[in-house]
Amino acid sequence: MVSKFGNRFLISTDRSSLVLRIDGIGKLLTDYYGRKLTGLLDDDHLGIDYPFPQGTSVVYSPDYWNHNLSLVKSEIATMGKGDYFSPSVILSDDRTQVFDFVYDSYRIQEPEPIDGFPTPHGASQELVIVMAERQTHARLSLHYVVYESEDVIGRYAEIINDSDLPLAVKKLSSLQLGLTNDGYRIIGLTGSWANELNRNATKLVPGKFVLSSNTGFSSNRANPCFALASSHADFTHGDVYGFNLVFSGNHEESVEMDTNQNIRVQVGYNPLLTEIVLAKSKSFVTPMAVMAYAEDGLNGLAHRFQSFVNDCVIPPYFKNRERPIAYNNWEATGFDFNDGKIKKLMKKAKDLGIELFVLDDGWFGNRDNDSQGLGDWQCNEKKIKGGLKGLSDYAHGLGMTFGIWMEPEMVNKNSKLYQSHPDWIVKDVDHQPCPGRNQYVLDLSRTEVQDFVYQSVKSVLDSAKIEFLKWDCNRPLSDYPRSGSFFLDYFKGLYRVLDRLTKAYPTVLFENCASGGNRYDLGMLSYFPQSWMSDDTDSFQRELIQYGGMLGYPQSTFSNHVAAKTSMQMLRKTSLDAKFDVAAFGVLGYELDLNDLSPIDQATLSAQISYYKAHRALFQFGILSVIESYEDGNVFSVQVHRGDEWMIGRYGAIQLANPKLSYLKALDVDPNAIYAYASRQESIPLSKFGSHINSVTPIHVNPDGMALAWLMKNKDMKSEIDQGHAYGASLLSQGPALSVEWNGTGYSDKIRLEGDFGGRIYHLIQSSKSTHLS
Ligand code: GLA
């Protein structure tokens, strides 16, 4: 809801308000962003002007001797008029590089799509404030897009050149916001390959903190999502601001603070090597940045962003649509497969209850390793007799759906595509382009390349019944052409292709992937509802990745696979159930070699799959919160909550000697209600006990010998079951005690043996005392 009160605008969502003010010289200022205001009062003094210029300041003009632009909480900043914060807008023409925008007009309109960039749907209103340059006839429109019930405000900027001189746009942030320091910590999501989305908190000090990518893609180095949390904020209480950008390319987010503790937040595309030159009456528009304010801590912010993504970002067809449990053959077979091997895996997957089979890399062209074949999207019928149709028919005959892997933006030199179109790759005039994973990037800024990519994917999707497509992108950009708009044009081209494809195949579930999470952002999620979060399938690493991701994204976007017991990436060994405990908080899948499963493993996986199916909506669409994190100790605990049901994942890092007692905590429960709780019973592998197995076996067993190997395949131990009832009040402040952790002696069904990097899932349901869970 947008209202105008004199020289002020009040933009309100269900639980937050943003107040903007046009000051005496026509500058647009942030007066307030916080809890919802039901109106504006004449004398509420939300913003105040400095009554005097500080020592070394430059004042705006002789008529405004006290007006120092460095001391105001401006919604845009240019250079040359005494604002010494970093500019959010940098422009120049042949005559000047000083630009001075002042208020011109406003309008309130129906929200409109942004030309060239994905625009989240479901906004209720849009306020456009037009600022005019005092001398040069440039106009700057600031768009405030209100997602009322989501508590999210979008902002983007558009510049129009009305003068006869060409206008160079060297930087144009989507968003600038003024704040005053409240002991803020910046919480960013930084990382690298196989280690994405680490939550990192840094206390703000005077200076400038920048999160950015210049890899060409939004990157695993720094996600565009970040939060500012006040000194007293924790998971459930306190003021938190969050920001993100609906764009998949280079981005830059900065938080700058001066010694007066004035803060400017900026979010936008990264202006590095980007300069747009506008002829007369041409305009340039930025992607949308989004922001949210929460008074209820980091979980509160996460809930707003999670619901915004589910409701307004992902394609509407997939809103609340339950996602299938997938099997992907990559970690089991790599490139080494044929139709017989795949059909055998399909059959085994089906027997376990898996619903979707995804054929990964290696099915096309001469793609027997990663140095060849990319770009030739015809099925290799020598490897797969009967082609994709044969495999798809087989899967459907079994009662499963079928999916496929593609990497449409890339090409290997060893391919027919490269032989016919060597000029289609991204390259500069002189240098030999750098390979990445032996491949090169197709220049999606060119229309003929966009058409090729569209047609390649279309012909694959038309060649068989294909319900799922994993879209990969395994290297960043390099060797860019000398064009000031390349880093934006690449994505406008990509988005054009994705828009066409998702409109032509609205029910196909696309999974975003870029060597895991190297391009996990609101831009890609606008077309692809879920994402392969990381190439690291080790469950402990995934706990950390999911912990980071959930700050800004819902678990319906997390594609999580249970992989082999010994992690391919970490060589860390954890049980299949420990892996499931983490993977279940997202879209569940499997990626291990099903031929290696023992009878016990098969029973374990079947039980996991049945459990997940019974609670799928809760796992995929429940409100996700952090209860405890490793920052505070040895336990990491999360919950999903939907209606009167909860699932709690409770994990430990390294097992400690003489551990303290453990209790089951939950959030968002009614203190006066009664809840039934029950742990999911797990399979404990006998190998955990090593030679201690001999304390229970009638004959001596060599822990490294054949007898134990045989026993392990056919027998396991069952974990403890913790169940009972609890008042909500107890769950909120202490919780019921859980079985005591293993501590060196006396295993029994009253002992909780999680070991290193283990965990449990607990189901909680509001109930009358008589309800029992199993
Ligand atoms: C990337 C993906 C993997 C797999 C391989 C195939 O690394 O992240 O999941 O699909 O490509 O080459």
pLDDT score recorded for residue 169: 98
Q: Can you say how many angstroms the Cα of residue 470 is from the centroid of all Cα atoms in its chain? A: 16
Q: Look up the pTM and report it.
A: 0.97
Residue with tokens 């992937």, as numbered in its chain: 513
DSSP 323: P
Report angle CA 99, 102, 105 to the nearest 5 degrees: 135
Ligand 1 pocket (Cβ < 6 Å) reads 330, 360-361, 405, 472, 474, 513, 515-516, 532, 535
The single residue of 311, 535, 536, 577 carrying the catalytic annotation is 535
Cα–chain center distance at 762? 25
The preferred substitution site among 337, 374, 468, 474 for testing ligand 1, maximizing ligand atoms within 8 Å of CB, is 474
Residues of the chain with pLDDT under 70: 769-774
Asked about 535 being catalytic, the answer comes back as yes
Ligand 1 center from residue 564 Cα (angstroms): 16
Using CA atoms, how far apart are residues 662 and 643, in angstroms rounded to an integer? 26
> Which residue has its alpha carbon closest to ligand 1 atom 5?
361
Q: 18 - beta bridge partners?
A: 11, 33
DSSP states of 170-202 as a string?
EEE-SEEEEEE-SS-EEEEEEEETTEEEEEEEE
Task: For residue 534, list its beta bridge partners.
Answer: 516
What is the model's pLDDT at position 402?
99
Torsion of CA 551, 555, 558, 559, to 10 degrees: 160
Residue nearest to atom 9 of ligand 1 (CA): 535
| Residue to probe by mutation, ligand 1, list 327, 368, 405, 475, most atoms within 8 Å of CB | 405
- Using a 10 angstrom Cβ sphere, with 0-12 exposed, 13-18 middle and 19 or more buried, the burial of residue 557 is buried
Nearest to 741 by CA among 717, 764, 720: 720
Model pLDDT, residue 637: 98
Joined tokens for residue 676: 């039934």
**Region class of 656: left (phi > 0), else alpha (psi between -120 and 50), else beta:** beta
Residue 308 CA from chain centroid, whole number: 12
Which of 196, 515, 542, 569 gets mutated to test ligand 1 (max ligand atoms within 8 A of its CB)? 515
Distance 189 CA to ligand 1 centre (A): 22
Parallel/antiparallel/unpaired status of strands 125-133 and 101-109: antiparallel
One-letter amino acid at 463 equals S
Atom of ligand 1 nearest to the CA of 370: 12
How many A from CA of 369 to the centre of ligand 1?
Answer: 12
Strand partners, 177: 265
DSSP 553: S
CB atoms under 10 Å from CB of 737, counted, come to: 12
Q: Rounded to whole angstroms, how far apart are CA atoms 245 and 287? A: 7
How far is residue 698 from each of residues 683, 689, 690, measured CA to CA in Å? 22, 15, 16
523: phi then psi, degrees, rounded to nearest 5: -65, -50
- Residue nearest ligand 1's atom 8 by CA: 515
- Report which protein residue has its CA nearest ligand 1's atom 2: 515
Radius of gyration of the chain (CA): 28
| SS3 state of residue 306 | helix
Residue whose C-alpha is closest to residue 182's, from 254, 225, 232 = 232
How far, in Å, from the CA of 567 to the mean position of ligand 1? 15
Looking at ligand 1, which residue's alpha carbon is closest to its atom 4?
Answer: 330
Q: What is the pLDDT of residue 423?
A: 97
Q: Hey, whose CA ends up nearest to atom 6 of ligand 1?
A: 361
User: Nearest-CA neighbor of 534 among 300, 120, 189, 56?
Assistant: 189
User: Which numbered atom of ligand 1 lies nearest the CA of 405?
Assistant: 10
Residue nearest to atom 11 of ligand 1 (CA): 515
- CB 93, CB 165: distance < 8 Å: yes
Whole-number pLDDT of residue 770: 52
Helix (H, G, I), strand (E, B) or coil at 592: coil
Instruction: Report the pLDDT value the prediction gives residue 769, as an integer from 0 to 100.
Output: 60
100 is catalytic: no
The pLDDT of residue 774 is 52
Cβ pair 415, 377 in contact under 8 A: no
Question: Looking at 472, 521, 577, 722, which residue is catalytic?
Answer: 472
Task: List residues bridging with 294 in a β-sheet.
Answer: 240
- pLDDT of the residue at 708: 80
Question: Residues near 706 by Cβ (< 8 Å), separated by ≥ 6?
Answer: none
CA of 359 to the centre of ligand 1 (A): 11
The residue whose CB lies within 8 Å of the most ligand 1 atoms, and thus the one to mutate among 195, 327, 335, 360, is: 360
